[in-house]
Amino acid sequence: MARAIWNEAVLAGNRTAKSAAWYCPHPSPLARKIKNHAAFCGGVRVEY
């Protein structure tokens, strides 16, 4: 079974969002497309 790993905090400028990102280092075969990607939640907006 695949397990997600939560980052303790995401830092952006002078703000910290706790438990705002996760990733799955060993996804199941059906979810293989998410390998090496991070997901953000809790109002985090990613701009690049």
Give the pLDDT confidence score for residue 19 in this predicted structure: 80
Report the pLDDT value the prediction gives residue 1, as an integer from 0 to 100: 55
Tens-place pLDDT, residues 1-48: 567 788 777 777 788 878 888 888 889 999 899 888 888 887 777 777
pLDDT (0 to 100) of residue 39: 85
Per-residue b or e along 21-37, where b marks 16 or more CB atoms closer than 10 Å to that residue's CB: beebeebeeeeeeeeee
Give the count of alpha carbons within 13 A of 28, CB side only.
Answer: 5
